[in-house]
Structure 1
Amino acid sequence: MKPVDLPVNPPIAPMLAKAVASVPPQPEGTPTWLYEPKWDGFRVLIFRDGDEVAMASRGGKDLARYFPEVVAAARAELPDRVVLDGEIGVPRLFGDVHRLDWDALSQRIHPAKSRIDMLAEKTPALVVGFDALALGDADLMGEPFEVRRAALLAAVAGRPNTRTIRASRVTDDTGVAQRWFSAFEGAGLDGIVAKDRGARYLPGKREMVKVKHKRTADCVVIGYRVHKSGRGVGSLLLGLYGDDGDIAMVGGSSAFSDAKRLELQDLLEPMRLDPGQPRPGEPTRWRQAGTGEFYPVRPDLVAEFAYDQMENGRFRHTVKFLRWRPDREPQSCRYGQLEVPLGYDLYSVLEEL
């Protein structure tokens, strides 16, 4: 990561949010909360010191090498000395609306510079800033959020050439925030974050609150992977039937206890499809070809799983096992049961600042 000399320098652990069940209402009197859309991408802290730009992930990973177009935008669009907290996403056109595309974003993390450069041109990212930790020679971390918000707007909003780095919307109206929670999911957003307008920036602390979309779906178990220890089931592979009668893999479920892994292995081993040999897993940015082998099983078992969002016909994140559904026929587990958010264009979320 490039060295910078700013009032706030890396490494900095970003401030986090704790989950709550619903959008918190404003107390009587002066509104306390400022509500923002929850952007679902890679968390990023951007440090600009003249020509030097550093970009750190939540875990401290150097993101600048993977997003050269964002580095160039920081030099062109931001003040000479600034530290911003935000989220990187990749907008893509789905039908007639733009959404954040998690798959396209994930593909941007690649070891080959040639591919990084190609994807920077083919699937350019944007950054939505939602906090400012420093501006000029001022350390803003001890200032109230509403002061840092004003600094963010001074750094990003209102600059006519700003296209790659934007500022998140905010409202102090609980009703508006609740409408955003439903409407903005259609643009690929993940929920709502509420921030105390008077709070300082506390690195690594869960001082904000977040409300995320949670749903359930009944899925067919179509296979499993063995746990990395070699004992028990590491993850279940899940499927849904389409209108054509074919079943498609839609995601996976993991994070089982030791006892549950062994229980699942005892249940699923007799259900392996002939000849009962593992099939190769698809290579991803996390594993190479020839790894991730799984055992396909007869599509006889149905279970209920908790999920947050679908994207491109698959669960965006790993889903959580809830319970078996012996009352459901596998063929009845179809895409039609899934709640599909209304289309809402990503740039409409940004342009109404």
Structure 2
Amino acid sequence: MYSIPAPMLAKAAASIPDPAKKPMLYEPKWDGFRGLVAWDGEEIEIGSRGAKPLTRYFPELVEQLAAILPGPCLLDGEIVVATGPAGAQRLDWEALSQRIHPAASRVAKLATETPAMFIAFDLLADGEEDLQQHPFRERRARLEGMLSDAPHPLHLTRATDDPDLARRWLAEFEGAGLDGVVAKPLDDAYAPGKRTLIKIKHARTADVVALGYRVHKSGSGVGSLLVGLYDETGALRQVGGVAAWTDAMRQKLVDDLAPLVVRDEAGDAVTGESERSRFTGAKDMTFVRLRPELVLEVRYDQLEGDRFRHTVQFERWRPDREARSCTYDQLETVAGYDLADVLQ
């Protein structure tokens, strides 16, 4: 069996990089689980970005990839799940996240109900030949030769050297649930664990209401500020959290937020508990409740259902805004795009 390396990573950029400065290949940025598939001719192993084995959670991929791959190899790619009717499918993060379950019976059930796909975008080994020191342009060419006729659920990601087409993908493919565009230097070797790729993601702003905060894991200061939006019924719904405060700001926020803390008759702070998922584990999900009066502007990339897909970034305070004016209506609506048109 191949030794599965740490995956090559990406650093964020605000726009599509100019290929005149460095030759680039552009790919859609798939919103799924990073997976490195090792096939030695007898067994399939799937490693993750965090070194957590994913093999047991995707038995359908293990069975199907073993039958499809022409020979021993080590692939880098993304595990995704698509849902929706024909002609309007999109990536479904929630359905994918449900696949990580401790019960074997549940894993088997979901493998049938929400089967996964593997989107390959790099070839790290072919037979006994280690390709990690070869330039990406060579690895990509060999990957294309290997997977040119591969059937579903194994797909070769689209790629282009045209920055204008990459910009179009950035705008259009979000409608199919994709996360942006990745730019990859064509002359670079594979760099495990290094952020040598470039990711360009969607960035938007929204005015949200502070509804609570969690204490920092150190036990002192604000760790994350929970934020919400008002829905069409007038209910304030939690939509995400703002983190990454400096040490000084974490302490300052405790004092700044103190007048807004909801207290009981005894004068003690009232706490709540956020919804749990399989990713939170035993993490303390309690938070200190705040009166919904403070408005802040945040940067976000995209929504997953009615919540922000990722942790959002603080932009500025908005003392000029009334909390009740912070509704879902301000969020950008993305035009739908059929995932099948991305896979082709």
Q: Same fold (TM over 0.5)?
A: yes
Instruction: Check whether the contact 1:91–1:125 (CA below 8 A) recurs between aligned residues.
Output: yes
Q: 2-side partners of 1:250 and 1:314: how far apart?
A: 4
Is 1:154–2:158 an aligned residue pair? Answer: no
RMSD: 2.1
Q: 2-side partners of 1:254 and 1:340: how far apart?
A: 25
Aligned to 1:139: 130
- The structural deviation recorded for 1:55 is 0.9
Q: 1:62 to 1:224 in 2, by over 3 A?
A: same
Aligned to 1:320: 313
Aligned to 1:116: 107
Aligned to 2:195: 206
Is 1:218–2:211 an aligned residue pair? Answer: no
Instruction: Check whether the contact 1:193–1:208 (CA below 8 A) recurs between aligned residues.
Output: yes
The C-alpha deviation readout for 1:182-232, integer Å capped at 9, x for no partner, is 101111111111122232222223332221111111100111222223222
Aligned to 2:50: 59
Q: 2-side partners of 1:237 and 1:70: how far apart?
A: 37
Aligned to 1:278: 271
Q: 2-side partners of 1:343 and 1:84: how far apart?
A: 30
- The structural deviation recorded for 1:327 is 0.6
Aligned to 1:238: 227
| Matched positions, count | 340
Structure 1 residues 212-221 or 238-247, which shifts more?
238-247
- SS of the aligned residue for 2:61 comes to helix
Q: 2-side partners of 1:289 and 1:196: how far apart?
A: 40
Is 1:72–2:60 an aligned residue pair? Answer: no
Instruction: Check whether the contact 2:87–2:340 (CA below 8 A) recurs between aligned residues.
Output: no
Q: 2-side partners of 1:94 and 1:330: how far apart?
A: 37
- SS of the aligned residue for 1:89 comes to strand
Match of 1:89 among 73, 80, 83: 80
Structure 1 residues 77-86 or 264-273, which shifts more?
264-273
- The structural deviation recorded for 1:37 is 0.7
Q: 2-side partners of 1:168 and 1:291: how far apart?
A: 39
Normalized against structure 1, the TM-score is what?
0.90
Instruction: Check whether the contact 2:4–2:36 (CA below 8 A) recurs between aligned residues.
Output: no
Amino acid at match of 1:65: R
Amino acid at match of 2:195: R
The C-alpha deviation readout for 1:81-137, integer Å capped at 9, x for no partner, is 011100111212289622212222222222222222222222221111101112223
Is 1:299–2:292 an aligned residue pair? Answer: yes
Structure 1 residues 174-183 or 209-218, which shifts more?
209-218
Q: 2-side partners of 1:173 and 1:287: how far apart?
A: 40
Aligned to 2:9: 16
Amino acid at match of 2:218: S
The C-alpha deviation readout for 1:267-315, integer Å capped at 9, x for no partner, is 3333233534312332211335894112222110000111111110110
Q: 2-side partners of 1:96 and 1:317: how far apart?
A: 27
Q: 2-side partners of 1:118 and 1:289: how far apart?
A: 25
Q: 1:263 to 1:17 in 2, by over 3 A?
A: same
Match of 2:170 among 177, 181, 184: 181
Runs of 4+ in 1 over 3 A off after TM superposition: 287-291
- The structural deviation recorded for 1:181 is 0.7
Q: 2-side partners of 1:241 and 1:195: how far apart?
A: 40
Q: 1-side partners of 2:248 and 2:194: how far apart?
A: 33
Gaps in structure 1 of 5+ consecutive residues: none
- The structural deviation recorded for 1:53 is 0.8
